[in-house]
Amino acid sequence: MPGGMLRARLKRSSLYTFGCIRPPRESVDEPHEFNGPGFSRHICCNQPGFHRKKPLKYSTNYISTTKYNVITFLPKALFEQFRRVANLYFLLAALLSLTAVSPFSPFSMIAPLMFVIGVSMTKEGVENWNRFRQDLKVNMRKVLIHVGDGVFVKKPWMKLEVGDVVKVEKDNFFPADLLFLSSSYEDGICYVETMNLDGETNLKVKRSLEVTLSLDNDASFKDFSATIKCEDPNPNLYSFVGNFEYEGRMYPLDPSQILLRDSKLRNTSHVYGVVIFSGHDTKVMQNGTKPPSKRSTIEKIMDKIIYVSFSILVFISVISSIGFAIKTKFQMPKWWYLPPDDKKLVDPHNATRSGVAHLITALILYGYLIPISLYVSIELVKVLQALFINQDIHMYDEETGTPAQARTSNLNEELGMVDTILSDKTGTLTCNQMDFLKCSVGGTPYGIRSSEVEVAAANQMAMDLEQHDHDHGFSRTDAGNGSEIELEVVGTPNGVSGRNRVKGFSFEDPRLMNGNWAGEPNKDVLLMFFRILALCHTAIPELNEETGGYTYEAESPDEGAFLVAAREFGFEYCKRTQSSIFVRERYPSYFEPVEREYKLLNILDFTSKRKRMSVIIQDENGQILLLCKGADSIIFDRLSKNGRSFEEATKKHLKEYAEAGLRTLAFAYRKLESSEYSAWNDEFMKAKTSIGGDRDTMLEHLSDVMEKDLILVGATAVEDKLQPGVPQCIDKLAQAGLKIWVLTGDKMETAINIGFACSLLRQGMKQICITTNVELLTQDSKKAVKENILMQITNASQMVKLEKDPHAAFALIIDGKTLTYALEGDLKHQFLNLAINCASVICCRVSPKQKALVTRLVKEGTGKTTLAIGDGANDVGMIQEADIGVGISGVEGMQAVMASDFSIAQFRFLERLLVVHGHWCYKRIAQMICYFFYKNIAFGLTLFYFEAFTGFSGQSVYDDWYMLLFNVVLTSLPVISLGVFEQDVSSEICLQFPALYQQGPRNLFFDWYRIFGWMCNGLYCSLIVFFLNIIIFYDQAFRVDGQTADMAVVGTAMFTCVIFAVNCQIALTMSHFTWIQHFLIGFSIVMWYVFLVLYGMLSPSISGNVYKIFLEALAPAPIYWLSIVLVTVACNLPYLAHISFQRSFNPMDHHVIQEIKYYKKDVEDRHMWRREKSKARQETKIGFTARVDATIRHLRSKLQKKTSLLSPRDPTPTPTPIPTPTQT
């Protein structure tokens, strides 16, 4: 029978302790009474048009995550542009250019500004359009909507309205917040996956009201009518209050009847529901925030540089205006040859007014100190950088066909300055899959596959031994050598297997496979172990008609892995009814399977408080058994005296499994007498059917009574399957000096297990768990709770402070309830100080709002760059709150991606995004901006020198077209190539030397020391350009006939020197050359001469004083060419001397690597290369490497103990094998 048919006939509520035989809640609970504001929502079911009218006017189901719309684009985009200080200045200068005091034509000032603003706004518009298209994909998803007469038609989500009746089918997302009416199950049960909302992978059970169970087909909604009164839209995912009025009666509603948008329907053929909240009123959207306007750290610093440049501009303008006023008052009366000024701008009788007018002239004249093309060049460079990120084949996920995407290019360089990463867990770090790897049964360990940690530790120790031998000049190849240390790894590493891998089953041990377990001495214990695997669960089997095998729909990935393991061991769970479980057992004969029926009497389900789960079954012989699995500490406390035979051995194995990063559970059982069970079951049934508030307490007590005097069977070790490459990525990011926090809505135990799996936690790390005292919470004393939490934080901080072991590492673990208080007032700063001093931080059971608040606390409290990464709608808040938001474009919706700044398909791609692209983009943008200010100071100050030299006349030494083309054409292309193609080291080196990344967070290339250094370089260059040219051309013959140089000749010669000097400077700055850089630098210089020739050939009415100046005046003059060589060399000598000195006596990390690569030492001397790689690692206490180092320290200490015990008796001991992590 197909699995779907079977499941549809089951009353699923009978499988759950706290849900079965519960009286209908409508007969017990009274309707809610709404008092006060916040409960005004009124919904008429099956009447969507009713809610379009006033005063209701409820939100449509259309959502938008864009920054602009058609109406707001122009004003908001202009605001974004003119909140940049430089653009404001150039707007003012453009307006002043329309007045008589301007030294330039209006066109030369207005045209560049319009070009810059236009390009930037176009880029913003394109990025906003891309966001709109992604929103449209979500809005255009289809869902079945009731259109009348019992007919359901597929319509886009965006057409959905409040009051609509919808039909959602299996494995589809809910399009809005719905009231659950009925499902394909006759008792109104459905299963919902809320991973997008709270990060939990286990399925949630939702129950409809019994009164709506009859609405179980399309036709039943033909005349359906009801009214809902409930709470107003709010962000609380875990609460809902409302009343449902149907057929003249009122029924109370609670969260168990609400299906939230972006959660997914699982294990249920279909459900019917009514839309309560739509669009931005849904709880998941309420948890989001408006798309923020983010600016990078470098851009903020750049504004300060603009302020400095503007201060210099004002300062020299004031000097110029004072000088002009003095000249006007005292010397102008003697200048009889000057014609009178009709506009009275130059008036010896009112020198003050003349000085003020000249101040405006000077502010415009020296405006080239502030580079107008800087912003547009940066915008263009960032777009091209984003294009390279999008096209990076190493960040392309072949399985899903998804590339990386820079959804905004404004924050490229911020990727290279990240200090803290805040990550979601489910779907981000994990892929929701467990692999059965090892087990311990009857005190005997089974499973020979080595974990990644074990293999890495062995390999690292082998390398260390090899390096030690190399350093001391001897080899360990001689087997008879008394000093030999043998290193062996038992089993195969993960990913290597002699047979076909089964999903969820990585176990390898011939003793248990293919029925061989029957020959083991403890076969009876093994038989019980396999039966617990196959029977102790709540999963549903589904027959795969193509393969003939079964797949399992389990509430948690653990259960799925156990059932797969049971099947592989020969105990295949194949069918379930209301009262029985059927298992196809390959016992007693492995080749003749027998289907056995076990009667299911009770299920005592798992809760985070109980930390265990049990089933009570009756086998074919009538024997009643309680089968139990749970946390080892809980199970061991409940063992009987005669059930502890394997306790010590099992504890030892559990410790080994934990050290290998595996997730463990202990298995036990108990035989029950019929009379004992009957008496207990009577009490249990009474408790389940009771109505009082202590019902759950009574049930828990009766469960405790039954779950005692257990007999230990063994333990399992499953590997919580992380996304591919997650441990390696976290390790590399840790070596790069990044701090990693995990914020998850999952249970604390699950989060801790994931922490171990991805090496954020490790054995020996001291865990600081900050939790809320339950007794204090029940007393409703907020002050007492806060004092208790403060005491825990204070004690933990003191413990961290007093720790003297340099290798000690601390992990902070805190739950959502405690976090609510920890984020308030002064307590949040103490919490943050404690968290900063811990190697890793894990926040469990946190709501989406709390994720955003924690992100804000880290961002504002540390003042450093934060990056948030997640894949679900519950991560939107923190993604938008962080300085950089990264969305994972997996299969669980696109909410996170739509709210993000960058999207990737797998967490592992974050390593390359930051360590490679982040590092490159930071250095490129930093060098580019520094160079921009250098060249503009070098050019702009020559105008000031000339004006002072000519009596503060306001005269420009350069033609207007020279100045217009300087930033836009003649020097822009090389600097753009610097920003796009520059690489201090290759991508492979970035990944091999992750500590290079710290140059960004430490801001080594854009601190004020470096900025002022470049400014001083520009000042020096301007002095050389101006005064050398004045010395060369002043008071001496320039042409063959003895004529001296005029202002046009001097200006053109100076401008040529500036072009050569700044282009040679950028060539010295570059570390990585391609033909593009060579071409663009040469092209810029050639373009200057092409322009000079063409411009000089125009009519004198257009070209003015530069008519044929190059062909007739400059080109024939040798002194012109010699001055270019002399000035260019003189301008660049100091920088050349500086970098030579730095590389020789105080090299930076990348300088050393560059020289090693240049001289090919990485190939010729591999030992030195490995040593440099080891030295370049950032010291860390988290990650795979830290875990391996800890394992190595542990093994070495054991080796030293063995050696010390042997050395007094035998000075030449025999070879001592180093035990593998499996053996230890």
Residue 1208 one-letter amino acid: P
Instruction: Name every residue whose Cβ is closer than 8 Å to that of residue 582 and which is 6 or more positions away in sequence.
Output: 573, 574, 575, 576, 595, 596, 597, 598
| Placement of tokens 């699982």 in the chain | 266
HSE toward the beta carbon, residue 1038, CA cutoff 13 A: 24
The answer for residues whose C-beta is within 8 angstroms of residue 131's C-beta and 6 or more apart is 65, 66, 67, 407, 898
Which residue among the candidates 135, 164, 424, 435 is catalytic per the annotation? 424
Q: Is the peptide bond before 55 cis (omega within 30 degrees of 0)?
A: yes
Q: Which residue has the tokens 């079945």?
A: 144
Cα 131 to chain centroid distance, Å, stands at: 19
Distance CA 751, CA 735 (A): 22
Task: Output the six-digit token pair for 579.
Answer: 């009262």
Alpha helices (H) along 366-495: 373-390, 452-472
Beta bridge partners of 17: none
Question: Cα(136)–Cα(949) distance, rounded to whole angstroms?
Answer: 63
Torsion sign (Cα): 345, 347, 350, 355? positive
CB atoms closer than 10 angstroms to residue 536: 22
Active site residue 424: yes
CA angle 1044, 1047, 1051 (to 5 degrees): 115
Do 149 and 238 contact (CB within 8 A), yes or no? no
Phi, psi at 714, each rounded to 5°? 170, -155
CA distance 946 to 955: 8
Please report, for residues 406, 750, 839, 853, 1216, the alpha-carbon distance to residue 870 in angstroms, rounded to integers and kept in the order given.
15, 17, 21, 15, 48
416 token code pair: 């290279």
Neighbours of 72 (CB within 10 A): 12
Evaluate whether 670 touches 624 at the Cβ level (below 8 Å). Answer: no
- The CA-based angle 925-926-930, given to 5 degrees, is 115
CB 887 within 8 A of CB 871: yes
Q: Please give the Cα distance from 1004 to 1140 (Å, whole number).
A: 18
Which structure tokens are listed for 1130? 């003189």
Other beta carbons within 10 Å of 418 = 27
Task: Give the separation between CA 178 and CA 164, rounded to whole angstroms.
Answer: 9
The set of residues, in sequence order, having a beta carbon less than 8 Å from that of 359 and lying 6+ positions away, is 317, 318, 320, 321
Q: Cα 513 to chain center, whole Å?
A: 42
Task: Report which of 418, 453, 1189, 995 is spatially closest to residue 741, judged by C-alpha positions.
Answer: 418
Structure tokens at 577: 């009814």
Residues labelled catalytic: 424
